[in-house]
Amino acid sequence: MKCNIIIFFCIIDIVHSQNNTKNSASNAADSFVLACGSSNDATDENGSKWIPDNKFLISSSNSLPTIAQSQDPSLPSIVPYMTARIFKSESTYKFSVSPKFRYWIRLHFYPSSYKNFDLSNSFFSVTAGGFTLLNNFSAFITAQALTQAYIVREFNMIPINSGNLNLTFTPSSTYNDSFAFVNGIEIIPMPEIFQPVSLVGFSDQQMDTESYTMQTMFRLNVGGQYIPPSNDSGFSRTWFDDAPYVYGAAMGVTSEADKNVRISYSSDVEKYIAPVNVYSTARSMGPNSTVNKNYNLTWVFQIDVNFTYLVRFHFCEYQLSKVNQRVFAIFINNQTAYPEADVIAWGEGRGVTVHKDYAIHVNGKSGDDQLWVALHPNVTSKPEFYDAILNGLEIFKLNDVRQNLAGPNPMPLPLKLETESQQRRPFSQSKSKNHGIIIGSVLGALAGFVLVVGFVVFLIHRRRRVDVEMSSTSRCLSIYRYSQSSGTRTTSKTSGSSRISNKGGGFCRHFALAEIKLGTDNFNESNVIGVGGFGKVYKGYIDGSAAVAIKRANPSSEQGVHEFETEIDLLSKLRHRHLVSLIGACEENDEMILVYDYMANGTLREHLYNNNKPPLCWKQRLDICIGAARGLHYLHTGAKYTIIHRDVKTTNILLDERWVAKVSDFGLSKTGPSLNQTHVSTMVKGSFGYLDPEYFRRQQLTEKSDVYSFGVVLFEVLCGRPAINPSFSKEQVSLADWALVNLKRDTLEDIIDPCIKGQITIDCLNHFTETAAKCLSDSSIDRPSMGSVLRHLEYSLRLQNNSDDEAMVVAKQKPDNDEANAMHTTLLSIEEEDKICVESEEHSARR
Ligand SMILES: *[C@@H]1O[C@H](CO)[C@@H](O)[C@H](O)[C@H]1NC(C)=O
Ligand SMILES: *[C@@H]1O[C@H](CO)[C@@H](O)[C@H](O)[C@H]1NC(C)=O
Ligand SMILES: *[C@@H]1O[C@H](CO)[C@@H](O)[C@H](O)[C@H]1NC(C)=O
Ligand SMILES: *[C@@H]1O[C@H](CO)[C@@H](O)[C@H](O)[C@H]1NC(C)=O
Ligand SMILES: *[C@@H]1O[C@H](CO)[C@@H](O)[C@H](O)[C@H]1NC(C)=O
Ligand SMILES: *[C@@H]1O[C@H](CO)[C@@H](O)[C@H](O)[C@H]1NC(C)=O
Ligand SMILES: *[C@@H]1O[C@H](CO)[C@@H](O)[C@H](O)[C@H]1NC(C)=O
Ligand SMILES: *[C@@H]1O[C@H](CO)[C@@H](O)[C@H](O)[C@H]1NC(C)=O
Ligand SMILES: *[C@@H]1O[C@H](CO)[C@@H](O)[C@H](O)[C@H]1NC(C)=O
Ligand SMILES: *[C@@H]1O[C@H](CO)[C@@H](O)[C@H](O)[C@H]1NC(C)=O
Ligand SMILES: *[C@@H]1O[C@H](CO)[C@@H](O)[C@H](O)[C@H]1NC(C)=O
């Protein structure tokens, strides 16, 4: 309820400020929003209009419009990404602009597959108004390095006196067959929002930033959430969560302005600077002065060297109201940018927005390609609290003397098992290895006893409590999602009975109960394919032929209607090749039913052991692990908010008819099991052996808990045995413990699944087990991120394939199914499809 009200206030503010901006800027000058390669006007997800680009092209003879051949599920909108224009030689767009305005230039790139064009050959430069924006740019490499499906580059261009803005795309001449491409172009006028700033380290020098063209490097809503372009205050900027950039474990605390604090702007211009949502959330150091005195609240950014950067800090003090209560120093790259920042003194009151800019030059010494921003309480000015606060942060790169803004393509991350403890060192982290081992073995021993059932029930309860304690912001989010979904559903009802497409992103089809009954033969028991905490799962058919999995809530299920609806809305927005897609839902006569894609090959577990199915070969297992890792990586980072699965295990990794791994049951896992006996015992066998030991100790669930569970999955796949098997000797009960023991003793080979033992090359095995073992690190900080796990699994596969190339040339020559390949090749799954081994094809044939 409280949350609702806050959001309500925000909406009013946004509408208000958007109106203001539109009137001041666009009355005087035009915006150009182009969907390149499109022949018609089109609107994106949020109703913004994009127009065709051809009439702005000076000569279009050497360019051609084209359509992407596959749609990555993480694209925010079809428009403008699914169409593109390809340039085979230098080509120029011309826009008539007002000489009075600075302009935002946004370029959208979706390096997918386009007919007859190999994106890995595309290197090109982009210039505008005499400035080089991009040079030797490869959208393909950049997207791969950032593990993103699409790239947006944003610049702001100084006013062009001639009134003509030329935007030129030039394919690189150093590569044969090189070409340039672009999917979307936005040219949006803006008032001047930069003033001269002082250069850090040279207190007497001012930089006249008004004469610089800039590239936006980072734009963060500190302590808050992702803000989509549609919610910006007029410039359709995107603001991201800052948490991934915070250095080490010293995350500080986040907060949100109380609903009765009014955020006020000191002038009209300020309203474009950042939306209210940025100022109404913040990150500060924490409640304990002693702790705060001993650490810096630090953010670290990857940047290009030999450029000057403008760092813009957004502040709004909504908790305190007096001068000298919270005074802190601001450091950039270990130099003092400002010694005693006092937001109240700057803003002259509570809730007043302030922004401060500092410029810093970053020289080209090797290893200097990071920008550090740090805050620390200034003790000498004796403030009431030793604390610091930040609400928003933007980092812009300024053009150099050659009017250049282009940096090198980012390097795909190095293949070394980097963990957080190596990458970023927390300020105080006492390692408790011994402690962990003791708990681990106690658990292992416990598992043999009947006691365990009660223990697990206790755990489940605890787990619920953790869920409830999750930050209030995440609860706000759910409520917002819920209210939005009701709108979506009404519209989709009228859209006829065509099967829901993945296109819209957050689109959930409504089913009538009659349709579901028809499709499942009135919930015929013979169609039951599984039973879970939520209720029974049926195989069914919709629209006459499409096979689906239908989850019907047990009437005694603890999940409430409201929760059910928020879940639907969350799930229907998550689209990824490696996540089981929710197709729709039915809510009628007290029935709560979810409809998912049907996974023909069932769970991963049933193909590993205790089943009569033919064993999967090693490469196929590796493929499945890579797919599942991708799905989890997407949950952790690809969606707009981090989603922790909480219940990663081999029964939650499903396989479709082409053996593509799909992670299932995310989101729903937190509803927990109903308390009937069978399910609790499943918990003992399943989730129990997968549980992060740190979660026990700290009762804190992080995405690293998923990494731990995934490590168990990797060993399960390698060893072909359950995570917990109480019938084994004490030492062997827990697979996680047993695998680590054997790894240490160098006897791992003894516990590998005999069905695949001969197939694994030694390099591949070593790399794979090293990765899996890292995942099982006792302390979460020593575990790799899911993204890193993914890269290492891919590397393991490469190691395996390298030696197979030498040994089994024949197998390689099997023709690939090209068409199907093209359909499924998305940027993030380039190496996948062609690795399905001979054995797997036999499987499918038998089925
Ligand atoms: C938008 O601006 C117009 C003109 O200034 C004004 O009449 C209108 O009330 C404004 N709308 C909102 C929602 O503020
Ligand atoms: C459209 O708006 C919704 C809700 O405001 C937001 O979640 C989404 O990211 C927006 N999409 C784009 C492409 O701006
Ligand atoms: C833009 O391009 C046109 C045609 O190539 C050229 O005549 C004009 O001088 C260019 N304008 C600028 C500002 O470079
Ligand atoms: C590019 O093409 C030229 C002429 O066809 C050829 O001589 C040269 O070897 C090619 N270069 C590369 C890098 O393929
Ligand atoms: C975006 O704005 C809409 C209304 O303009 C609001 O309902 C929604 O909560 C906002 N979304 C975010 C993520 O701020
Ligand atoms: C602050 O932290 C220090 C060191 O961790 C601790 O000794 C002290 O009790 C804490 N103070 C408060 C008020 O919690
Ligand atoms: C700032 O100092 C820290 C620790 O002293 C060091 O690790 C880091 O590299 C420095 N950063 C820069 C940009 O000099
Ligand atoms: C905070 O950062 C500044 C500048 O890099 C450094 O001088 C100071 O020692 C740091 N303080 C702590 C407690 O790390
Ligand atoms: C705190 O403020 C004083 C007074 O301006 C200044 O001399 C001192 O350097 C500041 N301390 C830090 C750590 O910046
Ligand atoms: C940066 O500039 C310095 C001095 O001009 C040069 O030695 C260095 O190679 C440059 N670094 C990069 C990455 O271009
Ligand atoms: C262009 O980029 C590629 C990939 O980052 C790099 O290998 C190559 O050296 C670059 N070429 C030039 C001329 O800078």
Is the distance from the beta carbon of residue 825 to the nearest atom of ligand 7 less than 6 Å?
no
Specify the pLDDT at position 556. Answer: 62
Query: Ligand 3: which of 59, 93, 162, 164 to mutate, judged by most atoms within 8 Å of the beta carbon?
Result: 164
| pLDDT(22) > 60 | no
Query: 745 vs 482, which has greater pLDDT?
Result: 745
| Average pLDDT score, the chain | 76
> Distances from the Cα of 645 to the Cαs of 92, 552, 708, 749, in angstroms?
47, 21, 12, 31
Strand partners, 156: 104, 214
40-67 confidence digits (pLDDT tens): 998 888 888 999 999 999 976 789 999 9
Q: Domains in the chain and their CATH numbers? A: 2-190 (2.60.120.430), 197-413 (2.60.120.430), 498-597 (3.30.200.20), 605-846 (1.10.510.10)
**Could you tell me if 122 and 111 are in contact, meaning their C-beta atoms sit under 8 angstroms apart?**
yes
Report which ligand 5 atom has the smallest distance to the Cα of 484: 7
Strand segments, DSSP code E, in 294-420 are 297-302, 307-316, 328-332, 335-341, 353-362, 370-377, 389-390, 392-398
Which residue has the least CA distance to atom 11 on ligand 7? 333
Q: What's the mean pLDDT in 458-469?
A: 32
Query: 805 vs 809, which has greater pLDDT?
Result: 805
Q: Exposed, middle or buried, 382 (CB in 10 Å: 0-12/13-18/19+)?
A: exposed
Specify the pLDDT at position 624. Answer: 96
Q: Which two tokens stand for residue 812?
A: 């390689």
Distance CA 753, CA 138 (A): 43
| Maximum pairwise Cα distance, the chain | 83
Report which ligand 11 atom has the smallest distance to the Cα of 408: 5
**Could you tell me if 370 and 300 are in contact, meaning their C-beta atoms sit under 8 angstroms apart?**
yes
Query: 19 vs 358, which has greater pLDDT?
Result: 358
Specify the pLDDT at position 708. Answer: 93
For residue 397, report the distance from its CA to the centre of ligand 10, in Å.
Answer: 16
For residue 340, report the distance from its CA to the centre of ligand 9, in Å.
Answer: 6
| pLDDT(828) > 80 | no
Q: For 647, what's the count of Cα atoms within 13 Å in the CB-facing half-sphere?
A: 23
Is the distance from the beta carbon of residue 306 to the nearest atom of ligand 10 less than 6 Å?
yes
For residue 166, report the distance from its CA to the centre of ligand 3, in Å.
Answer: 6
Distance CA 308, CA 214 (A): 10
Confidence of residue 427 (pLDDT cuts 50, 70, 90): very low
For residue 224, report the distance from its CA to the centre of ligand 8, in Å.
Answer: 25
Specify the pLDDT at position 367. Answer: 59
Distance CA 121, CA 112 (A): 12
- Cα dihedral across residues 808, 813, 819, 825: positive or negative: positive
The residue type found at 365 is K
Strand partners, 157: 103
Is the distance from the beta carbon of residue 276 to the nearest atom of ligand 5 less than 6 Å?
no
Distance CA 82, CA 68 (A): 5
Specify the pLDDT at position 498. Answer: 26
Is the distance from the beta carbon of residue 92 to the nearest atom of ligand 3 less than 6 Å?
yes
Specify the pLDDT at position 508. Answer: 67
Ligand number with the minimum distance to the CA of 329? 9
Query: 118 vs 464, which has greater pLDDT?
Result: 118
Is the distance from the beta carbon of residue 285 to the nearest atom of ligand 5 less than 6 Å?
no
Instruction: State the residue for tokens 């490590």.
Output: 711
Mapped onto helix, strand or coil, the DSSP state of residue 82 is: coil
Is the distance from the beta carbon of residue 363 to the nearest atom of ligand 7 less than 6 Å?
no
Which residue has the least CA distance to atom 8 on ligand 11? 136
- Set 13, 569, 647, 778: catalytic member: 647
Query: 845 vs 552, which has greater pLDDT?
Result: 552
Query: 4 vs 351, which has greater pLDDT?
Result: 351
Distance CA 655, CA 635 (A): 18
Specify the pLDDT at position 643. Answer: 78
Confidence of residue 464 (pLDDT cuts 50, 70, 90): very low
Is the distance from the beta carbon of residue 90 to the nearest atom of ligand 3 less than 6 Å?
no
Is the distance from the beta carbon of residue 802 to the nearest atom of ligand 3 less than 6 Å?
no
Strand segments, DSSP code E, in 533-627 are 535-542, 546-553, 582-588, 591-597
Report which ligand 8 atom has the smallest distance to the Cα of 333: 5
For residue 177, report the distance from its CA to the centre of ligand 4, in Å.
Answer: 9
**Could you tell me if 643 and 608 are in contact, meaning their C-beta atoms sit under 8 angstroms apart?**
no
Residue 88's contacts (CB-CB under 8 Å, 6 or more residues apart) are 62, 63, 64, 171, 179
| pLDDT(19) > 50 | no
Confidence of residue 454 (pLDDT cuts 50, 70, 90): very low
Annotated binding-site residue? 551? yes
Is the distance from the beta carbon of residue 162 to the nearest atom of ligand 3 less than 6 Å?
yes
| pLDDT(684) > 80 | no
Q: Flag the least confident range among 90-104, 431-445, 561-575.
A: 431-445
Per residue in 86-121, is it b (16+ CB within 10 Å) or e — as a string? bbbebbbbebebeeebbbbbbbbbbbbbbeebebee
Is the distance from the beta carbon of residue 58 to the nearest atom of ligand 3 less than 6 Å?
yes
Confidence of residue 769 (pLDDT cuts 50, 70, 90): very high
| pLDDT(499) > 50 | no
The answer to whether the peptide bond before residue 673 is cis (omega within 30 degrees of 0) is: no
Ligand number with the minimum distance to the CA of 224? 5
| pLDDT(836) > 60 | no
Which residue has the least CA distance to atom 10 on ligand 6? 288
For residue 201, report the distance from its CA to the centre of ligand 9, in Å.
Answer: 15
Is the distance from the beta carbon of residue 16 to the nearest atom of ligand 1 less than 6 Å?
yes
| pLDDT(718) > 80 | yes
Distance CA 697, CA 354 (A): 41
Q: Which two tokens stand for residue 334?
A: 């270990």
Q: Flag the least confident range among 12-26, 89-103, 379-393.
A: 12-26
Query: 336 vs 442, which has greater pLDDT?
Result: 336
- Report which listed range, 515-524, 705-714, 830-839, is most confident: 705-714
**Could you tell me if 527 and 552 are in contact, meaning their C-beta atoms sit under 8 angstroms apart?**
no
**Could you tell me if 717 and 653 are in contact, meaning their C-beta atoms sit under 8 angstroms apart?**
no
Give the full edge-to-edge strand order of the sheet including 328-332: 297-302, 370-377, 328-332, 335-341
Is the distance from the beta carbon of residue 364 to the nearest atom of ligand 10 less than 6 Å?
yes
Query: 654 vs 22, which has greater pLDDT?
Result: 654
Ligand number with the minimum distance to the CA of 287? 6
**Could you tell me if 359 and 352 are in contact, meaning their C-beta atoms sit under 8 angstroms apart?**
no
Phi-psi region of 679 (alpha: psi -120 to 50; beta: other; left: phi over 0): alpha
Give the whole-number percent of the chain exceeding pLDDT 90. 42
Per residue in 484-508, is it b (16+ CB within 10 Å) or e — as a string? ebeebbeebeeeeeeebeeebbbbb
First to last CA, the chain: 52
772-782 confidence digits (pLDDT tens): 999 999 888 89
For residue 381, report the distance from its CA to the centre of ligand 9, in Å.
Answer: 7
The strand pair at 214-221 and 389-390 is best described as unpaired
Per DSSP, 245 falls in state G
| pLDDT(203) > 70 | yes
Is the distance from the beta carbon of residue 305 to the nearest atom of ligand 10 less than 6 Å?
yes
Distance CA 294, CA 288 (A): 10
Specify the pLDDT at position 665. Answer: 77
Report which ligand 11 atom has the smallest distance to the Cα of 409: 5
Specify the pLDDT at position 696. Answer: 63
Specify the pLDDT at position 816. Answer: 31
Q: What's the mean pLDDT in 631-660?
A: 83
Q: What's the mean pLDDT in 683-700?
A: 61
Confidence of residue 547 (pLDDT cuts 50, 70, 90): confident
Distance CA 706, CA 632 (A): 8
Q: How many residues does the chain have?
A: 847
Instruction: Indicate the pTM of the whole model.
Output: 0.59
| pLDDT(272) > 60 | yes
Q: What's the mean pLDDT in 191-196?
A: 89
**How many CB atoms lie under 10 A from the CB of residue 325?**
17
Q: What's the mean pLDDT in 703-728?
A: 91
Active site residue 204: no
For residue 329, report the distance from its CA to the centre of ligand 9, in Å.
Answer: 7
Distance CA 188, CA 229 (A): 13
Give the full edge-to-edge strand order of the sheet including 389-390: 253-256, 281-284, 389-390
Distance CA 65, CA 80 (A): 12
Residue 264's contacts (CB-CB under 8 Å, 6 or more residues apart) are 349, 351, 352, 353
Which residue has the least CA distance to atom 7 on ligand 9? 339
Confidence of residue 122 (pLDDT cuts 50, 70, 90): very high
Q: Flag the least confident range among 81-90, 700-709, 827-836.
A: 827-836
User: What DSSP element (H or E) covers 33?
Assistant: strand 32-35
Using only C-alpha atoms, what is the Rg of the chain? 28
Q: Flag the least confident range among 69-73, 245-249, 421-425, 640-644.
A: 421-425
Which residue has the least CA distance to atom 6 on ligand 5? 11
Q: Which two tokens stand for residue 336?
A: 């003092």
Query: Ligand 3: which of 57, 94, 132, 170 to mutate, judged by most atoms within 8 Å of the beta carbon?
Result: 94
The strand pair at 389-390 and 281-284 is best described as antiparallel
**DSSP string covering 385-443:** B---EE-EEEEEEEP-TTSB---PPPPPPPSS---HHHHS--S-----HHHHHHHHHHH
For residue 582, report the distance from its CA to the centre of ligand 10, in Å.
Answer: 51
| pLDDT(336) > 60 | yes
Specify the pLDDT at position 463. Answer: 33
Which residue has the least CA distance to atom 14 on ligand 11? 136
Q: Which two tokens stand for residue 358?
A: 């500092």
Which residue has the least CA distance to atom 4 on ligand 8? 334
